[in-house]
Structure 1
Amino acid sequence: MASPSQHSEPTSGVPAASFPVLPDYRGSCLSNVVPALLGPPDAADWLPAPVREAKAVVLFLIDGMGWEQLQDRAELTPVLSAMEGGPITTVAPTTTTTALTSLVTGAAPGEHGLIGYQIYIQGQVLNALRWTAGPKSSDARRAIVPEQIQPRPAFFGRRVPAVGRSEFQGTGFTRAHLDGVDHKGYKLTSSIAVEVQKLVDEGEPLVYAYYDGPDRIAHEYGFGPYLDAEFAEVDRLVAQILAVLPSEAALLVVSDHGQVMVGDNKVELARDVLALTAVTSGEARFRWLHARPGRAGELLAAAAERYGRHGLVVERQQVLDEEWLGPHVGPEARSRMGDVALVPSDPVAFVEPKPEPRSAAGGGGRPVFELLGRHGSLTSAEMLIPCLAASGTRS
């Protein structure tokens, strides 16, 4: 079995203890993966060699599988540990809606505008993953048309086949980030390798596949035996895909974000802070506070006094100046930003003073549970993701 040291040199030289870890938007970043795959050969020397040499590539995003969590489970993931590559950065905030959109559009969050899990837009807060809004969390697909909110085409307009869960087809978020792709739905994980083999054998030069097991497990069960078992299962899934790919094809494994174990470490927003706040958006580990008119300065001071010990409390201009959302932030994205951002380095979640029951990502009808593993912030555990590749092994 390969050890973590047998990966090629990491493509991101970020010490694990650094905070904040900012996205490398001009280099080895999730938002640059698809432009590199569709660009000239060797245009991005940070991509693993098997990808640069392949005639066909399967781009496999595994939701919630951060680089640090993968390294902690190297003994459970011998196939992934033997692949070439290393860590790259994801985008900010480290959340699924933002990162998946950056991956498939090749654009930083400031350009595509889906800047969080909850986005303040048209005077209300949109849950971008479920595409619901309002006090009753109503379906917002008519009032907030997904293709208009995020109009950039996936894969630069190429009709790339996308293998994902059948129940995600037609959802607001799928329409927002994967409009125009050739959807290939699966109901069971065992179908992923079958669909991928079929598409590659039919001559597709690029196939996109998505699997969300680690994210779901970490949210519901936290870090422990359930997550260990899921990483081992992911490794078997990767082995299945490699086994059905010919040697001239390559599998490229990436993720959208890592995770931290938060558990019950919730920090309720104080009344004096909420009195200065008109609305909150974002997520519990990248919480935007939208100030009441004329109160932004007071809000920044109050929030910094209350929460500065947990990490960063920054004003909107610092986020722009330091290019957290990318070198260019368009007017739509700017209008969706809050005035103050709470971005913790501690394993805490900033919540409003009320219960926050959540269901698993992907829709209604699932049991409600409290999130244990979380993401959104700029710690290395959340920001660093794998970029690993290997050639197919089918003879």
Structure 2
Amino acid sequence: MGTTLDEIMPRDSFVLPDYASPGLTTLMPTMVDIVRGRTEAAEEFLRTSLAEVDQVVVLALDGLGFFQLEPRLGLLTNLGRGVLRRGYSVAPTTTATALTSLTTGATPAEHGVLGYRVRLGGHAILNTLRWSSSTQEVGPPLPMDFQPVPPFCGETPVVVTKYLFAKTGFTQVHLRGGRLRYWHTMSSIVSKVLAALTDGERLVFAYYDGIDTVAHEFGLGAAYERELVMVDDLVGMLLDVLPNRTALVVTADHGQVEVPSPPVKLDTDVTALVKLLSGEGRFRWLHCHHGATERVAEIASGYYGEVARVMTRDEVLDLGIFGGIPTDGALARVGDVALVPTAPVSFYDPDDTGALQLLSRHGGLTAAEMIIPILTFVR
């Protein structure tokens, strides 16, 4: 008998997502059931009575893992008022993949957004968050062609998201069909949500990215806790203005792991057999030269086996990591060998760098990254 969701420990280093259990792939369909009047399954999912709920607000807090939140609830007056349970993120635990599963209710295998940086054609890389290609020769695909699953289970909710994301292709990938309202400051999230509820909207989806941003830059220490306090104030303001018979559900796309050391540079024995890198530092894909997959997996296991699971693509699929078998077109987006850290490390890609050394990261399958909170409040 396998480990249940509630038995997973914070230091578990390799946790496979269960796509049928509470988590990103089941939350939005449950919320839609509520607004359509089908509350029995929703009550079982959330372990709270929702029979008297007319309106639902889902607040997605980017980067807030269950095991980062739970020990700090004593500091958080408003978040501490909710009914807390665990949920699963998806694989990889990266924003593009996870948010798409949250809004569509689909597994990564079904929606095809299999990572942050994925292959396009032969040697181009698509940055799925920026919706930009690494080469001018191959442009970004149409969002609806890349990700065919309709978000929000066919509903057209009001969506409150950051104005900077207004024109990105990724917004079309995971939020199309939603009626977008943009926020410029944290407090304006409250104003936008309240206006939608006052207009009688049954389902409102809101997104805030600050926790993830702070964790990347400063780690999971004092700055992270200051950001949590600010988010706690946001939740308190939302709770103050919610109409009666309204549920607020607070969740996240993934958790975080502190990675204090610079990314691990791949040894030349590996890179000599690899033509392309994709993915992210904590779920790094190696695209091998023809016929070299098994050899690359063998060499990489020798070098990195103590800090990562080294798996061929077939092994990844056999484990059901994506929640099924992606289409051939989606599978072409990932590599031949995956390096998935089980320790607080990341793997370097010279084309996947930014202005900051990221002090916290995500993408892997540790419990800290995989297990997310689901907090429910009913007014």
Q: Aligned residue for 1:37?
A: 31
Task: Tell me if the contact between 1:266 and 1:351 (Cα under 8 Å) persists in the aligned partners.
Answer: yes
Distance 2:13 2:283 in 1: 14
Q: How far has the Cα of 1:122 moved from its partner?
A: 2.1
Distance 2:263 2:69 in 1: 26
Q: How far has the Cα of 1:36 moved from its partner?
A: 1.3
Paired letter, 2:18: D
Distance 1:26 1:328 in 2: 16
Paired letter, 2:126: L
Distance 2:131 2:50 in 1: 34
Distance 1:128 1:153 in 2: 17
Distance 1:113 1:241 in 2: 34
Q: How far has the Cα of 1:194 moved from its partner?
A: 1.0
Paired letter, 1:127: N
Q: Aligned residue for 2:269?
A: 272
Q: How far has the Cα of 1:52 moved from its partner?
A: 5.7
Q: Aligned residue for 1:26?
A: 20
Identical residues among aligned pairs (%): 41
Worse-matched range after superposition: 45-54 or 28-37: 45-54
Q: Aligned residue for 1:76?
A: 75
Q: How far has the Cα of 1:51 moved from its partner?
A: 4.6
Task: Tell me if the contact between 1:54 and 1:250 (Cα under 8 Å) persists in the aligned partners.
Answer: yes
Q: How far has the Cα of 1:343 moved from its partner?
A: 0.6
Distance 1:238 1:247 in 2: 16
Paired letter, 1:60: L
- Match status 1:340 vs 2:337: yes
Q: Aligned residue for 1:132?
A: 132
Choose from 343, 347, 356 the match for 1:350: 347
Aligned-residue CA RMSD (Å): 1.8
Q: Aligned residue for 1:361?
A: none
Deviations for 1:91-142, whole angstroms, at most 9, x for unmatched residues?
A: 010000000000111100011011111011222111111111125xx698x5
| 3-state SS in 2 of match to 1:336 | coil
CA distance 1:213–1:160, change in 2 (3 Å)? same
Q: Aligned residue for 1:384?
A: 371
Q: How far has the Cα of 1:79 moved from its partner?
A: 1.6
Task: Tell me if the contact between 1:23 and 1:324 (Cα under 8 Å) persists in the aligned partners.
Answer: yes
Task: Tell me if the contact between 1:48 and 1:387 (Cα under 8 Å) persists in the aligned partners.
Answer: no
Distance 1:139 1:245 in 2: 50
Distance 2:137 2:178 in 1: 23
Choose from 144, 149, 157 the match for 1:147: 144
Q: How far has the Cα of 1:332 moved from its partner?
A: 2.5
Q: 5 Å matches for 1:151-162? A: 151-162=148-159
Worse-matched range after superposition: 112-121 or 76-85: 76-85
Q: How far has the Cα of 1:246 moved from its partner?
A: 1.7
| 3-state SS in 1 of match to 2:185 | coil
| 3-state SS in 2 of match to 1:164 | strand
Q: How far has the Cα of 1:370 moved from its partner?
A: 1.8
Distance 2:20 2:154 in 1: 22
| 3-state SS in 2 of match to 1:200 | helix
- Match status 1:90 vs 2:84: no
Distance 1:297 1:81 in 2: 49
Task: Tell me if the contact between 2:218 and 2:224 (Cα under 8 Å) persists in the aligned partners.
Answer: yes
Distance 1:309 1:159 in 2: 47
Paired letter, 1:152: V
Paired letter, 2:327: G
The TM-score normalised by the length of structure 1 is 0.89
Q: Aligned residue for 1:169?
A: 166
The TM-score normalised by the length of structure 2 is 0.93
| 3-state SS in 1 of match to 2:377 | strand
Q: 5 Å matches for 1:270-349? A: 270-349=267-346
Q: How far has the Cα of 1:53 moved from its partner?
A: 4.3
Paired letter, 2:226: A
CA distance 1:295–1:27, change in 2 (3 Å)? same
Paired letter, 1:126: L
| 3-state SS in 2 of match to 1:190 | helix
Q: Which runs of 5+ in 1 are unaligned?
A: 1-9, 359-367
| 3-state SS in 2 of match to 1:281 | strand
Paired letter, 2:272: A
Distance 1:262 1:268 in 2: 14
Task: Tell me if the contact between 1:162 and 1:182 (Cα under 8 Å) persists in the aligned partners.
Answer: yes
Deviations for 1:211-270, whole angstroms, at most 9, x for unmatched residues?
A: 011000011111221111000111110011011102300100000000011132421111
| 3-state SS in 2 of match to 1:349 | coil
Distance 2:152 2:75 in 1: 33
Q: Aligned residue for 1:202?
A: 199
CA distance 1:93–1:177, change in 2 (3 Å)? same
Distance 1:125 1:273 in 2: 20
Distance 1:169 1:237 in 2: 22
- Match status 1:371 vs 2:358: yes
Distance 1:42 1:121 in 2: 43
| 3-state SS in 1 of match to 2:191 | helix
CA distance 1:257–1:308, change in 2 (3 Å)? same
Worse-matched range after superposition: 79-88 or 233-242: 79-88
CA distance 1:357–1:295, change in 2 (3 Å)? closer
Q: How far has the Cα of 1:201 moved from its partner?
A: 1.6
Distance 1:245 1:98 in 2: 30
Q: Aligned residue for 2:56?
A: 57
Runs of 4+ displaced beyond 4 Å? 50-53
Distance 1:47 1:24 in 2: 17
